[in-house]
Structure 1
């Protein structure tokens, strides 16, 4: 996806997140993140937005820590979130394409990385915020969901730090039923996963369904929409694929 599309998505998703959080109230429990209330979700996402903004706006060439979580709640917290989200959107929209700064996943440029990462970060957490209101949620666009699965399988879990490993080799396939020719083959072993964007060989387990449901289930926000084969292979993903803040 192009940078302007990603920034537009980030803009929309952040506004939806804030609206859902306001409607639910910051005391509400976040169904998709056990143990969290809406205030925890808003504090976390707002902190990440400010952290991401700092790299692009200030040109940090190496990792630097986040600014911590604010001691805010209620309307003050939501105002703080909206302010930081707006600054992130404006910073990404106004940055020059060749801006140089630190990033941590493969991308055509640092700007492309941060636009993509923050669009997906905010979308997943928007779904979290909406879960505090009930099972209904706003849709995730199909091509954006495809991009997000790519980022998760080939980006995050293409790194040496991925914990998705098995003692014996296994193959997990992910197939979107609503986007033609959209298949990922994930090869699991004692080494980091290897992901191919194609159907190759046989799979021990196959996950199927609409691509937006696959996207959210791979981020452990929904049950797998469809599963055939060895369910224990899918459980490896459930148990070991979580991306945590550190």
Structure 2
């Protein structure tokens, strides 16, 4: 997927998030994030949008702290979220391809990183908002979901801060059943998980299902569609994989 595609998805997902949050109301509980209410979701995601915008718009080439959470609620909070989301989309759409700024996962360029990361950040939190509202959530395209699985397994969990560790070497397979070539082999040990694309060797446990369902399950929003083999590895993922 290219940068323009990610920016388009970010644009759509932020609008869906805001609409779902508005319908649910700021005080509604968020079932997929049990410690949050909708106001917490809007404050967090709006803060992240502004934080990301600053790197691209202001050209920070080293880590720069976020601006904190706003003391807003209700309609004012929704408007604040929409404003920040709009600025992020417009900033990414207008940025030159060679913009130089800080980023934290492997990517072809800083702009490609921020467009991809914010599209996925916003999609997962859109699902959170829809869980608070109730009803049928909007679909996630299989190719985008597969990209998100790849970012999570080969990006986030390749870092030293991943807590998904095993005292003995184990192998976890992740298989999207509705997307070509969307299979990952994740080698677990006392080091950070080592994930590669492909069906490589025997696995102790396999997590399988449609890409959209796997994507949300790996982000600990929904149950795994299907688990075969040693279910303790699925439980290990649930216990240790949260990204903070």
Q: Which band: TM-score by shorter chain?
A: over 0.9
Q: State TM-score, norm by structure 2.
A: 0.99
Residue of structure 1 in register with 2:15 after alignment:
15
Structure 1 residues not aligned, in runs of 5+: none
Give how far 1:182 is off: 1.6
Q: Secondary structure at 2:87's aligned position in 1?
A: helix
- Deviation string 1:45-103 (CA, Å, 9 cap, x unpaired) is 00000000000000001001100000000000000000000000000000000000000
Give how far 1:135 is off: 5.3
Residue of structure 1 in register with 2:119 after alignment:
119
Give how far 1:180 is off: 2.5
Name the CA distance, whole Å, in 2 between partners of 1:195 and 1:52.
Answer: 26
1:196 equivalenced with 2:200 (yes/no): no
Q: Secondary structure at 1:148's aligned position in 2?
A: helix
Q: Secondary structure at 2:155's aligned position in 1?
A: helix
Q: Secondary structure at 2:217's aligned position in 1?
A: helix
Q: State TM-score, norm by structure 1.
A: 0.98
Residue of structure 1 in register with 2:72 after alignment:
72
Name the CA distance, whole Å, in 2 between partners of 1:108 and 1:62.
Answer: 18
- Deviation string 1:114-147 (CA, Å, 9 cap, x unpaired) is 0000000000000000000225211101110011
Tell me the number of residue pairs that the alignment of Structure 1 and Structure 2 aligns.
Answer: 244
Name the CA distance, whole Å, in 1 between partners of 2:10 and 2:181.
Answer: 27
Give how far 1:204 is off: 0.6
Name the CA distance, whole Å, in 1 between partners of 2:218 and 2:124.
Answer: 11
Residue of structure 2 in register with 1:85 after alignment:
85
Residue of structure 2 in register with 1:101 after alignment:
101
Residue of structure 2 in register with 1:169 after alignment:
169
Structure 2 residues not aligned, in runs of 5+: none
Residue of structure 2 in register with 1:152 after alignment:
152
Give how far 1:196 is off: 1.0
Instruction: Find runs of 4+ consecutive structure 1 residues off by over 3 angstroms.
Output: none
- Deviation string 1:158-187 (CA, Å, 9 cap, x unpaired) is 111111100001100001111133210000
Residue of structure 1 in register with 2:130 after alignment:
130
Name the CA distance, whole Å, in 2 between partners of 1:134 and 1:220.
Answer: 18
Q: Secondary structure at 1:132's aligned position in 2?
A: helix
> Where do 1:201-216 residues align within 5 Å?
201-216=201-216
Name the CA distance, whole Å, in 2 between partners of 1:7 and 1:193.
Answer: 29
